[in-house]
């Protein structure tokens, strides 16, 4: 069932929702959370689709907030709210309201969203892209228990990690972190099997993918060993090596689908390690709504801790340029030149390193 309301208000939307529910005979009691998605017109479709798929596991009221400031001064001066309500099979297992905010209303989105939140249920805000610098201070973010950002969609994905760390507030989370859960659990399982002292670690993966850095930072944070970052062609993360005195523990996934776990002294084993789609990531995010201290610790570890050199070499000079550049990029998110310039450089050093090894 689909209802279009133009030039409307939150209370009209609320009563339309109630009517729609009555008509379809269902109740709101089963819905477990309200999910607010802040998107632009271009990415609304994909984001809504993922959220709807995720809502099969977590029935929710999905509010998509689309801001249309308007191009002309005249359009910007006006204010109008249009809503598109989807209830029933069209809206996954909950209900969806697409809110289009025009003109001046774009800077008062929380006034529209607040009356539409489900009573007594948690609120999650997701910015598929263009997340605010400080999600918890954002007027919409302030309504939520859980704020989901996605560093990979930022202009400077790796620099974005520092931004997330600076503004980290309990309840913040990033899909770049969610993407590495499979890797983390497999690595933890590997260490369950072979409890040895790790002396160093290497993470390999494509550039512009903050998940690779986050995985390295997590390893650094947990193991307190030097972690080396090597740029490969991807897809995503391609390998993690944990150095031990008996040889490496290697989790290698060249194709983004099947991984191989090799532990010195044990047979190689294949493990399914598929890259997951956004709906699965969102579903994982919604499973727990409490603070993720492990993420906080990982993201707050400075990217400078990662080297692009073999750990044993310990050459400070070689690591400085990358770290510096990354720090710089973090400071000036908009400035992508720095990032673009350093990345190929990093790649080159990595390639050189490989050729040498």
Partner 1 sequence: MSNAQEFPDLEGAEVTQGDNVARPVNPLRDPADRRLPRIAGPSGLVIFGVTGDLSRKKLMPAIYDLANRGLLPPGFSLVGFARREWEDEDFAREVHDAVKDHARTPFREEVWQQLAKGMRFIQGDFDDDDAFDNLRQTIEDLDKAQGTGGNFAFYLSVPPRFFPNVVQQLKKHGLADPPAGSWRRAVIEKPFGHNLETAQELNRIVHEVFPRDEVFRIDHYLGKETVQNILALRFANSMFEPIWNRSYVDHVQITMAEDIGIGGRAGYYDGIGSARDVIQNHLLQLMALTAIEEPASFHPKALVAEKLKVLSAVQLPKDLGKHTVRGQYASGWQGGEEVVGYLDEDGINPESKTDTYAAIKLEINNRRWAGVPFYLRTGKRLGRRVTEIAVVFQRAPYLPFDSYATEELGQNALVIRVQPDEGVTVRFGSKVPGTSMEVRDVTMDFAYGESFTESSPEAYERLILDVLLGDANLFPRHQEVELSWQILDPIEKYWEEHGKPAQYPAGTWGPVEADEMLARDGRSWRRP
CB nearer partner 1, residue 197 or residue 348: 197
* Nearest distance from C-beta of residue 301 to partner 1, angstroms: 14
Considering beta carbons, is residue 73 or 195 the nearer one to partner 1?
195
Residue 258 CB, shortest distance to partner 1, in Å, is 5
Residue 110 CB, shortest distance to partner 1, in Å, is 27
Would you tell me which residues interact with partner 1 (CB under 8 A)?
A: 29-32, 56-59, 93, 178, 181-182, 184-193, 195, 198, 219, 222-223, 257-258, 261, 263, 266-267, 269-272, 274, 284, 287-288, 290, 292-294
Please give the Cα distance from 68 to 55 (Å, whole number): 26
Distance of CA 134 to the CA centre of its chain: 15
Tell the smallest beta-carbon distance from residue 199 to partner 1 (Å).
12
Place of tokens 């007027």: 139
Q: Alpha-carbon distance 235 to 350, whole Å? A: 17
Token code pair at residue 85: 């309500």
State which residue, 71 or 224, has the beta carbon closest to partner 1. 224
Query: Residue 95 CB, nearest distance to partner 1 (Å)?
Result: 13
Token pair listed for 306? 């990662």
SS3 of residue 323 by DSSP: helix
Q: Tell which phi-psi region holds residue 71, choosing left (phi > 0), alpha (psi between -120 and 50) or beta.
A: alpha
Cβ-based nearer residue to partner 1, 66 or 190: 190
Closer to partner 1 at the Cβ: 102 or 126? 126
Q: Nearer to partner 1 by C-beta: 131 or 249?
A: 249
Residues 6 or more apart in contact with residue 238 via CB below 8 angstroms: 204, 205, 206, 232, 252, 253, 254
**Residue 152 Cβ vs partner 1, minimum distance, rounded to whole Å:** 18
What are the contacts of 336-342 at 24+ separation with CB within 8 A? 336/155, 336/156, 338/156, 339/155, 339/156, 339/158, 339/159
């Amino acid at each position: 069932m689909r209802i279009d309301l133009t030039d409307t208000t939150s209370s009209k939307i609320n009563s339309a929702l109630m009517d729609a529910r009555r008509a379809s005979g269902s109740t709101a009691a089963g819905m477990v959370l309200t999910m607010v998605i802040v998107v632009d017109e271009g990415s609304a479709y994909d984001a809504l689709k993922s959220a709807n798929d995720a809502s099969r596991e977590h029935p929710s009221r999905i509010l998509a907030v689309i801001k249309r400031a308007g191009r002309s001064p005249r359009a910007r001066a006006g204010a109008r709210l249009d809503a598109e309500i989807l209830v029933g099979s069209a809206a996954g297992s909950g209900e969806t309201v697409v809110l289009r905010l025009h003109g001046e209303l774009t800077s008062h989105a929380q006034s529209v969203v607040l009356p539409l939140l489900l009573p007594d249920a948690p609120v999650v805000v997701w910015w598929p892209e263009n997340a605010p610098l400080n999600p918890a201070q954002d007027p919409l973010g302030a309504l939520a228990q859980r704020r989901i950002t996605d560093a990979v969609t930022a202009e400077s994905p790796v620099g974005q990690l520092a931004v997330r760390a600076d503004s980290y507030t309990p309840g913040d989370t990033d899909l770049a972190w969610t993407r590495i859960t499979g890797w983390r659990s497999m690595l933890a399982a590997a260490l369950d099997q072979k409890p040895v002292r790790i002396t160093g670690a290497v993470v390999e993966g494509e550039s512009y993918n903050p998940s690779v850095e986050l995985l390295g930072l997590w390893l650094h944070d947990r193991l307190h060993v030097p972690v080396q970052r090597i740029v490969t062609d991807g897809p995503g993360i391609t390998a993690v090596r944990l150095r031990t005195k008996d040889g490496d523990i290697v989790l290698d996934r060249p194709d983004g689908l099947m991984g191989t776990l090799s532990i010195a002294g044990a047979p190689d084993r294949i493990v399914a390690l598929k890259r997951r789609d956004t709906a699965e990531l969102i579903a994982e995010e919604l499973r727990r709504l409490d603070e993720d201290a492990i993420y906080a610790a990982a993201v707050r570890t400075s990217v400078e801790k990662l080297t692009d050199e073999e750990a044993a070499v310990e050459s400070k000079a070689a690591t400085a340029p990358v770290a510096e550049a990354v720090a710089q990029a973090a400071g000036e998110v908009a400035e992508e030149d720095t990032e673009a310039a350093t990345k190929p450089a990093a790649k080159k050093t990595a390639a050189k390193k490989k050729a040498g090894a």
